[in-house]
Every structure is written in C-alpha cells, then in structure tokens.
Amino acid sequence: MTATPPRLIRSVRLLDAAEARIRSEFTAPPPPDTAMDTPTAIALANEFKPFAMVVTHTAPLRKPDIAKLPDSVKLVATVSVGLDHLDVPALLERGIAVSNTPDVLTDCNADLAMMLVLAASRRAAEYFTLVKTTGWTKPLGMADMLGHRVSGKRLGIVGMGRIGQALARRARGFDMDILYHNRRRLDAAEEAGATYYATLEDMLPHCDIVSLHMPGNASAPPIINAQTLALLPRGSVLVNAARGSLVDEDALIDALQSGQLSGAGLDVYRHEPNPNPRLVALPNLFTTPHMGSATVETRTAMCMLALDNVAALAAGRPMPSPVTA
C-alpha cells in the first residue's frame, strides 16, 4: 500500500467484509444506499477525484462516459467476470487500467448451471407450482408429470473455459457423457475424456442437454436460434447461465411450446431485469434472476479481489486480475 490510502469510489455497497476493508485501507465516501447509475457515478468521480472506481453492471461505462471521468481515475475495477458493461478499449486508450474478478466465481456459477440442468430436466418449476401455488390435491398417476433423468445423458457444453470445465466435472458425477464446442480444442488433461466438436452445428444433434458458457455480444446474432434448436434431438433441454444475448428468445418460446425442447433452465435473459413475459410464463421453463455468483462466499471473494487490484496498482505492483484487451 502507498503511504496515503488510495482513494476510491464504488457504485454499489459491497459485502460487509469488503466494506470493513475499505474503511481500514482506503479513503472513500460512504457506500451508496442504492446502486448508482452511470451519471451518478461519474458525478461522484468528478467530485471525489478517486484513484479507482469499483463498479458493477449498474454503472456501465461507454466511450462518451469515459471521456467525462477525471484524470485522477487510473483504474476501473469491475466486480464481475463479464465486461459487457465496460468499453475496455476506450478505457485503456484513456490510460485507465481495467480489472475483473475471474476464477473466484467459477464454482458457484457451475453449481448453479448444474442446478438448472437438473431442474429443467426434472420439471422442477412445474412441481413447485403444483405444490406451492396450484394446490396438490390428488395423487399423481404413474405416467403423470414425468421428467427425464440426467444420469447417463449427453451434455453438450458450449464454451469450455473455467466454468464450462467446472460444469463438466460436476456432470461426470452423474455419469454424463461430455461433448463440447469451443474456439480451440483443449489439451488432453483439460479435456478429461470429453468429445470435441469444431462446430456447434456438428455437436447439437448428439446432445440431450446443452449448456451455454461463452461470452455474449449484444451486437452479434444469437447462436441459439430456430435453425440451431432444430438440430437438437426432440425433447432436449437448454440451459443458459452465460449471457441472454446468446439466445433468440422467440425461437426458444416456439421450441418449448412445440416440444422440440422438453424444458429449459435460464439464469440470464435478453432484457434484464424485465425478461419477456411470454417466456417466463411457460410452465416448462425453470428460471433464476441472474444469480450465478450469488453466494456469500463468492460475492465476498469477488469484492476482495476487486480491492486487491486497487491496492496492487496503487502500490505499483502487478494487479492479480488485469484486463488487457
């Protein structure tokens, strides 16, 4: 640490352990009562002249916003892995370093993805509705409301990075066959017996369940659309705990209604926090509100890693998790 505690602002109140660390090691204004939007964060930056801004997706920074930041800002540390809300090239061009929080949320995101696989396959949303809302008033027959087991099924993972590999490890505990599509083939140790497909289109016909784990790009066409959904065996399951922009939701609705998909599990949506009401009304959709990293342990580790990056840069040390491009 420098002799003078680094000055920082944060766009959201961090977890208690991180707030205690800020009081001990940094100079900062009080945490906000509610998450700041971009204009509020920029206004505070110009008033407080911080060395670092600790932000989340609630305060996206695009090129015009970055131009309004004071020269004091040397780092934007996002408490996330995803960088969709930051114009990284514009920040770097301005001479502002960028950091994110990879690795620490891998396990929790993979846990949630596995939960979505199980819940969508076993019709958890319908079971929950029956017992808690509709009213379970008579015994179910032998053939009523049957789901599909995941044990022994073929799981196709799209994007075999840290989280995709962590999901594969969990799925092997259910004796699932792992298929994957990735920008590059993994080495044998990382692959761990999984079957590689160079194209998504080649993999999909062999999948009982598909789980998405790749970055999103709102300006790119969705990779899951009517054409790719049609390649799946009828009655398959789709899971998306990555980015909502990866899926054409109109095509997903059609597939869930027609039975092309027996179910889906989503943690992310094209429009957040107000997902398509036609989509979320479907009985065979299991939904969570973008909560992949939402555990005390993981969110605390994310906050601490963001502060580690601030402390390192202020002290002239290499940051533990810089974003370079």
> Is 243 labeled as catalytic in the residue annotation?
yes
Catalytic residue (one of 243, 249, 270, 299): 243
Q: What is the pLDDT of residues 206-251, one digit of tens each?
A: 999 999 999 888 789 999 999 999 999 999 999 999 999 999 999 9
Cis? peptide before 273, omega within 30° of 0: yes
pLDDT digits (tens, 9 = 90+) for 145-191: 999 999 999 999 999 999 999 999 999 999 999 999 999 999 999 99
Instruction: Summarize pLDDT for 103-147 with one digit per residue, the tens.
Output: 999 999 999 999 999 999 999 999 999 999 988 999 999 999 999
C-alpha 149/C-alpha 48 separation (Å) is 56
- The per-residue pLDDT for range 180-208, each reduced to its tens digit, is 999 999 999 999 999 999 999 999 999 99
Catalytic residue among 93, 190, 201, 272: 272
The topology (CATH level 3) of 8-104+295-323 is Rossmann fold (3.40.50)
- DSSP annotation string for 120-168: HHTTHHHHHHIIIII---SPPPTTTT-----TT-EEEEE--SHHHHHHH
Q: Residue 311, Cα to own-chain centre: how many angstroms? A: 26
Q: Is 85 a catalytic residue?
A: no
Same CATH topology for 8-104+295-323 and 106-287: the answer is yes
Tokens 């770097």 — which residue?
Answer: 92
Phi, psi of 76 (to 5 degrees): -110, 115
Query: Does the active-site annotation cover 25?
Result: no
Rounded CA separation 25/222 (Å): 44
| Residue 14 three-state SS | coil
Coil/strand/helix, residue 214:
coil
For 254-309, what is each residue's pLDDT tens digit? 999 999 999 999 999 999 999 999 999 999 999 999 999 999 999 999 999 999 99
Q: For 106-287, CATH number?
A: 3.40.50.720
Distance CA(203)–CA(187), nearest Å, equals: 19
Domain residue spans of the chain: 8-104+295-323, 106-287
CA distance 320 to 220: 30
